Structure 1
């Protein structure tokens, strides 16, 4: 099982330090979430900066809100980042569920699934160098960029077999099994070889008490819209983190991304000692 590091969003200027530390400590990927109506760095822009600060580690969005972006421009941005990073970019994409993000982008929330269903084959079309609305849009990516789809709804799960290379599962293990089995069943029914790549996520915090407290506050603020106190609270006990990692390994995850909401880069080596 590989390990990714989900980057904090509160201090963008620190992210190159996080990226270099993650690469030095042996993490396999860096991930950034996407929101529009929130105080977070735009992930494609931020990951482009981090591509220049690193040389080996993969860079992935988890998940980019595709319907908020124009398809042709998104294809160009992804292809550019893929080429300039030496093929290290992975597009994790989904629809999102926040009305404020969609209102700010002028995209009806009710249309987001239909928009993504159009976008995904069109992205592949553009990357193959085929004309899109009468124009060829470059640059061509080095190879077809890997696409991971995240979500929980049946429509989101269906998209994995139709359009993607893998599934981003942000659900807790207690109810992830049914989602993953549905994805694998649909993959087989579609006649696709092998199985979809499975990338899972957990929220964590490590280090001094002050750093852990900041992480708890940041997570609570990010998930406040759910109205569920404690939703998404990070794992902080090293033994509990180690046990959870072992459970995901047994579950069959290809990659586990540890999301850090606290901004202290000192967490990176502390987490690496637990997993890498």
Structure 2
């Protein structure tokens, strides 16, 4: 059973301590989300800093909004981070969906899926024209976060696996779709499946702070923000149960995305799943 830790975004200056504690814990991966129009740290810059503060744990974007970025520069940044981390970097990619972010960079929201397809970086990583060469031949591991079938098919065409941010009741169908596309594409083995659940464990004040943070972050989504805050896991028993259920469903790793900036969350969550 592999369990990763999604990093909170409220206090970027505390993330080095989060990373050091997590590196000394059973957690397998540190994940960091991406938004442009929000008060969050830029993920590639932040994970590069955390790579230098850790020795074992993997580093993952969850997910990086690729259509907001220039492809060759993104490929160079990802290869550099993979190289400097000794191959510990996983590039999680998604298309995004907020009009304000696309307007800010002058990109067309309606063609974001097509733009992501054009951004696939395998050729850049293997072509030698843009260096440095990544640590892993062919580039770092690439996962795609998605919900719609055309986007799920992208996992089989370009990726190594799937990042699933859906609840358990929906995740099984998404896993099945990804595996079907993978088989249809003639890919060997099976895609790596990574699930994500929102968590905050501790006293009532900690949970309330986390619920407020997640509701604000998803505020643009209306009622979804309220439901997401309400369904956040807040007890060790609920966290353990979710990890067990997603593992039974076929997840190779479960990311516990924490919305409380309290560094004691690392120990509480490690104890919950140990």
**TM-score range normalised by the length of the shorter chain:** over 0.9
| 1:213 aligned onto 2:205 | no
**Alignment-derived partner of residue 23 in structure 1:** 23
Once the two structures are superposed, the pairs formed by residues 9-158 of structure 1 within 5 Å of their partners are 9-120=9-120, 123-130=121-128, 136-143=129-136, 144-158=139-153
Off by >2 Å, runs of 4+ in structure 1: none
**Alignment-derived partner of residue 133 in structure 1:** none
- 1:231 Cα deviation from its structure 2 partner: 2.5
So what's the TM-score if we normalise by structure 1?
0.95
Partners of 1:245 and 1:176 in 2: how far apart? 13
Partners of 1:208 and 1:18 in 2: how far apart? 19
- 1:262 Cα deviation from its structure 2 partner: 1.0
Q: Deviations over 1:188-240 (max 9, x none)?
A: 01001111000000000012222211111101101111111523222102222
| 1:227 aligned onto 2:222 | yes
8 Å CA contact retained: 2:202, 2:235: no
Partners of 2:42 and 2:108 in 1: how far apart? 21
Provide the aligned length of Structure 1 versus Structure 2.
269
Q: Deviations over 1:114-159 (max 9, x none)?
A: 1001111xx10111034xxxxx111010212100000101121010
Partners of 2:109 and 2:142 in 1: how far apart? 22
Q: Deviations over 1:73-116 (max 9, x none)?
A: 00100011000110101000010111111111211100101100
Task: Return 5+ residue gaps in structure 2 as ranges.
Answer: none
Q: Deviations over 1:157-204 (max 9, x none)?
A: 010000000000100011111111011001001001111000000000
- What SS does structure 2 have at the residue aligned with 1:104? helix
- What SS does structure 2 have at the residue aligned with 1:231? helix
8 Å CA contact retained: 1:148, 1:168: yes
- What SS does structure 2 have at the residue aligned with 1:243? helix
Q: 1:190 aligns with which of 185, 188, 196?
A: 185
8 Å CA contact retained: 1:129, 1:138: no
- What SS does structure 1 have at the residue aligned with 2:189? coil
So what's the TM-score if we normalise by structure 2?
0.96
Q: Deviations over 1:16-73 (max 9, x none)?
A: 0001111111210000000001110000000000001101100000100001000010
Q: 1:256 aligns with which of 245, 250, 254?
A: 254
- What SS does structure 1 have at the residue aligned with 2:34? coil
Partners of 1:128 and 1:260 in 2: how far apart? 35
Task: Return 5+ residue gaps in structure 1 as ranges.
Answer: 131-135
**Alignment-derived partner of residue 241 in structure 2:** 243
Partners of 1:230 and 1:247 in 2: how far apart? 24
8 Å CA contact retained: 2:163, 2:194: yes
- After superposition, the CA RMSD in angstroms is 1.0
